[in-house]
Structures are given as structure tokens and as C-alpha cells.
Amino acid sequence: MADRTPPPWFASVIDGGPGILFIGVYLITRDFRTATLALVIAAAAALLAMLAVERRFRPLPTAVAVLAVGFGGASLLLRDPQILKMKMSIVDGLLGAALIGGVIIGKNPLKYVLHATFALTDKAWAQLAIRYGLFWWACAIANEVVRRTQSDHVWVLFRAGTLVAGLLFALAQTPFLIKHNALAGKTGAPPPDLGV
């Protein structure tokens, strides 16, 4: 029987592809509606590809894709780009709340997702979750400021910048992970969420 394990790049393409496609289509066409339509189609395709290849729906990418289809579809139907722009605030705000709330109640979701990759103490997991939670909250607040005060074009550039910021933030956690990781050869930063 053939091995159905997806290649290493598959998850990154599924998770980040729709958002990157949205930005690329907008920069080429300068049309927010066309880019939103591309996002909705790509997010729906990502869900189908995840099911076909992985035989399951991973919770976070699935939630992001469903929200992209929902908010993007509503944005198209109502001809209001603000609806899609709000999605980033909602997703990032909820991510921050889930991470920090999880630490408060002793159910760290970051540890649950990454425990097989990193061997950290509970204190280190909590510190990492709080760092990420604050980062996502900062992104949500920044998005609210930008979407309410700037043009569609500036917002798309801002959205592209948050993808870069997420990657840089993840890379900045590498020294912390190296210091606290108890498993030899298992260093590196957890990938940022690239969902739009």
C-alpha cells in the first residue's frame, strides 16, 4: 500500500497559500474583490486538499480556512471589504486569548500542539504561549487601527507585513527554544500562523 504521508511542504502550502495568493492577486490586479474571490476559492481548495491528502482536518488551519471562506464570501456578497479585513482581528484576537487563557487555566494549547517537537518545562511552555499570545493581540490591535484608518491598498501591504513579522517573531524565539529544549537535535522556532 502506498505511503500517504504528505510531503513536508504540504502543510505550509495549505496553511499559508490562500493568504499569500490573496496578496499576490491584489498586487497584480489592484482589485480587492478579485483578490477576495481568489482567497475564497483557495481556502476552499485547501480544505479539500487537506481532507484528500491528510485524511483529516487539522483544527487551526481548518478554522482559519472556514473563516476565510465565510468572511470572504460575505465581503463579496455585501460588497464591503471591511468584512474580510475584520477576520484578521478576530482570528488573531482569538489566538491570543486561547494561548493566554490556556496558560491561566493550566491547559496550554501550544504545548498540546508542539509537545512532540519540543521538550520544554511547563514554565517555558507558559512563557512561550504568553509571548505568542501577546504577539497575536498586538497584530489584532494593529489591524483594527489600519483597517479603520487606511485604504485597501495600505491594508494589503500591512497584511503582507504581518506575514513577515510573524516569521521574524518565530525566528526570534529560536534562542529561547534552544536554551529550554531538552531533546537534542529538536531545535527551531514554531511556525507562525499564516492564515488570512
Mean pLDDT of all residues in the chain? Answer: 88
Domain positions in the chain are: 10-180
Q: Give the residue-averaged pLDDT of 37-49.
A: 95
pTM metric for this prediction: 0.84
- Which pLDDT does position 77 carry in this prediction? 97
- Which pLDDT does position 180 carry in this prediction? 84
C-alpha torsion 36→68→192→184, nearest 10: -130
Q: Give the residue-averaged pLDDT of 135-140.
A: 97
Q: What are the angstrom distances between the C-alpha of 50 and each of 4, 59, 88? A: 12, 11, 22
Radius of gyration of the chain (CA): 17
32, 26 Cβ separation under 8 angstroms: yes
List pLDDT tens digits, range 79-135. 999 999 999 999 999 999 999 999 999 999 988 887 777 888 889 999 999 999 999
Q: How many CB atoms lie within 10 A of CB 152?
A: 18
Phi, psi of 56 (to 5 degrees): -165, 165
